[in-house]
Amino acid sequence: MTEFDLSHLIIVAVGMLLAGGIIGLAIGRSTSPQSKATETLKEELEQLKEEQRDYQHEVAEHFAETADLVNNMNQSYKAVHEHLANSALKLSNPDISRQILEAGTSQPALESQAMGELQEQPKDWAPKNPGDKGTLSEDFGLEKHNTAKPEESEAKEEEKA
């Protein structure tokens, strides 16, 4: 009967040893520096994600408020202009009234071109003399230097003519 008790005792001891090893391994992994660093990084990541969401929300609010303020400013300018135009009609001569009204209804350059008004070409693009190349021409200012002998260059000029 002691053999039976001794074999049970050995089996229980081996089982306890395995259970202790597994429990020790689990505790060791959960308290290892690498595990702590991973947990810290996860917490930092969540915190940064939250900060980014807050920042994006603040940016969206900022632009919405800016759009509202610009819209209010445009309405205020329009109200001031209307007030000046109405006052000019009542208080000044017709020429000043007409100038104020025209200033408020002036069209941007692109709209006036669409309406058929011709715009003068910018001076820095235009050639100085008819037939000259303009400043923004691809070969403006590039002159071909003749390195050939005078006889060869004369022959080339005669071929061109």
pLDDT per residue of the chain (161 residues) written in tens, 0 to 9: 455 688 888 888 899 999 999 998 888 777 777 777 888 899 999 999 999 999 999 999 999 999 999 999 999 999 998 888 788 778 877 777 677 767 766 655 444 455 555 566 555 555 567 677 666 666 766 665 555 555 555 555 566 55
Q: Which two tokens stand for residue 51?
A: 């900060």
Tell whether 146 is covered by a domain.
no
Tell whether 111 is covered by a domain.
no
Tell whether 53 is covered by a domain.
yes
Please, are residues 69 and 77 in contact by the beta-carbon 8 Å criterion? no
Tell whether 139 is covered by a domain.
no
pLDDT of 152: 58
- Rounded-to-integer distance, Cα 155 and Cα 59, Å: 71
AA letter at 19: A
59: left (phi over 0), alpha (psi -120 to 50) or beta: alpha
Please, are residues 119 and 113 in contact by the beta-carbon 8 Å criterion? yes
Count CB neighbours of 88 within 10 A: 18
Tell whether 79 is covered by a domain.
yes
Please, are residues 100 and 92 in contact by the beta-carbon 8 Å criterion? no
Q: What is the total count of domains within the chain?
A: 1
AA letter at 39: E
Tell whether 147 is covered by a domain.
no
Tell whether 71 is covered by a domain.
yes
Q: How many Cα atoms are found within 13 Å in the side-chain-facing hemisphere of 61?
A: 6
Domain that holds residue 82: 11-103
Q: How many Cα atoms are found within 13 Å in the side-chain-facing hemisphere of 107?
A: 9
Tell whether 94 is covered by a domain.
yes
- pTM for this entry: 0.38
- Rounded-to-integer distance, Cα 58 and Cα 70, Å: 18
